[in-house]
Amino acid sequence: MEELTEYTQYLESRISEIDFDREPRNLFDPLRYFLALGGKRMRPMLTILSGSIFDLPREESIHAALCIELFHNFSLIHDDIMDEAPVRRGKATVHTKWNSNIAILSGDVLFVEAYQQLAKYADARLPLLLKRFNETAIEVCQGQQLDMDFESRKDVTELEYIEMIRLKTSVLLGCALEFGAILANQDEETRSSLYQFGVSLGIAFQIQDDILDLYGDPELFGKQVGGDILSNKKTLLFLKAKKLAAQQGDSRFDDLLKMEPAKDKIEFAKVLFEEIGARNNTLEVMDSYYQSAMQNLKNLEEKGLKVSPLFKLSAYLMNRNV
């Protein structure tokens, strides 16, 4: 999408203008390094696109968009510490390149800078912006905690997993979209439709990510496939397979859990999940959330709003060959 490239370039330009050229260097250098790693910038783009529905100039929505992006990067820096991840976007993570203490403090600075961006709206819109952002920030932390808790639990349910990804990933998309409506002084019903669109799309996107982790083309997916299976991560695909194997009396799922991490394990899971119906079952759940997202957009379209860019972006995000 040509217009996405334009928005991305605009966002990169505005991000580069944030003043991190300060002392001490080992506190602020990691921030310039991490933000320069790039990424799709989809979350702040959603805020700008949301505002454009109401003819809001991007210069008016940019500070809310930057708030979303800075908060997202703060969460990634801290997540990498908790996950002990050595690489992010093909480069060393902040805690690996510097150390964990510096990464924690640098992440904290990003969190504060996110608030500073939001505080630029010193008018009647600020309380609503802060209310949504504060609720979202807490929910993202709740989702991360649940994700970590699930690592040591053997009784995680499908509904619990959906709730975890809603909190950890999807509410931030909803927040990004609602920001545009708040800035344009829209009514609660309109704000809610955009928020729910973002949440449902985010859940569908994460479920698709889980499927692609096993079945995706590494060249198209952008990373090596099979990581979730090698670590027995309790994704929806994994939980569906566990449930269906038990219903069908298929002992191969138990065999999978006992296998050592290797390429053979990945290939074994691909065949097993296909044969017992876990892949198709998971795809159906993904599609149900995607259709729910589309319904929210249709509701807005029926009100006369120009939501075509969001329809296009949704199709673009979900067109990743599952």
**pLDDT digit string, tens, across residues 150-188:** 999 999 999 999 999 999 999 999 999 999 999 999 999
Q: List, as own/partner pairs, every contact residues 99-103 make where C-beta atoms lie below 8 angstroms and the sequence separation is at least 24, other chains included.
A: 102/26, 102/27, 102/30, 103/30, 103/77, 103/78
CA distance 77 to 263: 29
Cβ(191)–Cβ(182) under 8 Å?
yes
Positive or negative CA dihedral for 17, 172, 5, 78? positive
DSSP state for residue 168 in the 8-state scheme: I
Q: Is the pLDDT of residue 75 over 60?
A: yes
Query: Which residues are registered as beta bridge partners of 87?
Result: 92
Q: Is the pLDDT of residue 1 over 80?
A: no
CA distance 195 to 292: 12
- Which of 69-73, 227-231, 242-246, 277-281 is least confident? 227-231
In this predicted structure, what is the pLDDT of residue 254? 96
Over the stretch 243-268, which tens digit does the pLDDT of each residue have?
999 999 999 999 999 999 888 999 99
**Cis peptide bond prior to 261, omega within 30° of 0:** no
CA distance 118 to 67: 6
Query: Which residues are registered as beta bridge partners of 91?
Result: 88
Q: Options 3.40.50.2000, 3.50.50.60, 3.40.50.1820, 1.10.600.10; which CATH number does 187-322 get?
A: 1.10.600.10
Q: Which architecture, in CATH terms, is 1-164?
A: Orthogonal Bundle (1.10)
For CATH 1.10.600.10, the residue range(s) in the chain are 1-164, 187-322
Over the stretch 5-44, which tens digit does the pLDDT of each residue have?
888 899 999 999 999 999 999 999 999 999 999 888 999 9
- Amino acid in the structure at residue 288: S
Cβ(227)–Cβ(209) under 8 Å?
no
Binned at pLDDT 50, 70 and 90, residue 222 comes out as low
In this predicted structure, what is the pLDDT of residue 268? 96
